[in-house]
Amino acid sequence: MSDYERIASIIRFLEREQIEQPSLAALSEYAGLSRHHLHRLFSSWAGVTPKDFLQCLTAERAKELLLKGSSVLDTSYEVGLSGPGRLHDLCVNLEAATPGEIKSAGAGWDIVYGFAESPFGRFLAAESPRGICHLSFGDEGRETEAVAQLRGEWEAAAFSRDDSWANDLSTQIFSVSEAAKAKHPLRALVRGSEFQLLVWRALLRIPHGELVSYGALAEELDKPKAARAVGNAVGKNQLAYLIPCHRVIRETGVVGNYRWGSIRKRAMLVWEAGTRA
C-alpha cells in the first residue's frame, strides 16, 4: 500500500467517525501503525504531524483559510509579479485550443502520454505540440479506460507512451517549489468556452495552500450572481492539480465534490498546508 493509499484510508475513517473525533491512539490503531510510524507517514508525505493532519481536516480550519483567502485574488494583482499570489499563475501558460484545432481533432499532432505516481496516487498526463493537454487521476487497474478517454479527446492525433516523461513531469509539478517552477513555466492547452477559460485563469491565481469559496471567485470575476455557473466551470477543469480547482470550497468550510474524488481533494488540501512555502 502506497503512502497516499494509507492517507486516503485514514481520511475515509475520519469522515466516518467525525462525530466521535477519534484520538491519535484510535487513528494509530485503525491504520495498524505504531504512533512512531504514523508520525513518520505524515512527516514523509506532507511534512505534518498527525495532530496537524487532524486539524487540517476540520471545517473550522477551512473557514479560517477562506477568511484569509477572501481577498487573495485581489492581492495577487496588487502585489505584482514578485508576490506569492502570482507564482502559480506564472508556472502555467494557459492557452485555448482554436476552433480549427478542435475540429481537426488533433490531426497531424504527435501526443506523448504516460502514467506516473504523485502524492495523490497514479495519474495520466499527455502533452500536445501546444502544451499539456490532459492530466487526470484514476483508480489502479483502469489504465486502458483512461487512455481510451484521452484518445477520444484528440482522436485524429498520433499517440506514443513514455512513462519516463510523465515521471519527470510529476517531479516538476509536485517536488519543486513554486518559485523554481515559475522559472520554467509549463505550457498548457485546454478546450473550453470563453467563460470557462476566464474561470480557469482565475484559479491559477489562487496560491499554494490558500482557499477561496465559489462565491468569492464569482465576485472576483464581477459575476456575483453566477456562483453556480462558476462552480460548473470549475468542475469542468481538464488538468487536475495543474489548474488548482481543488482550492475552491464551499463558504461553510465543507470541501465539496471533486472530479477526481472528494477524498483526493481533502488529501491535496492537507498536503498543501504541510508543504506550503
Active site residues: 245
CB distance 244 to 204 below 8 Å: yes
CB distance 62 to 255 below 8 Å: yes
| Alpha-carbon span 251 to 68, nearest angstrom | 12
Q: What is the DSSP string of the chain?
A: --HHHHHHHHHHHHHHTTTT---HHHHHHHHT--HHHHHHHHHHHHS--HHHHHHHTSHHHHHHHHHHHTTHHHHHHHS-TTSGGGHHHHHEEEEEPPHHHHHHTTTT-EEEEEEEEETTEEEEEEEETTEEEEEEE--TT-HHHHHHHHHHHTTTSEEEE-HHHHHHHHHHHHSS-HHHHHHSPEEEEE---HHHHHHHHHHTTSPTT--EEHHHHHHHTT-TT-HHHHHHHHHT-SBTTTS-GGGEE-TTS-----TT-HHHHHHHHHHHHHH--
Angle, to 10 degrees, between the axis of helix 24-31 and the axis of helix 3-16? 130
Of 269, 251, 265, the closest CA to residue 70 belongs to 251
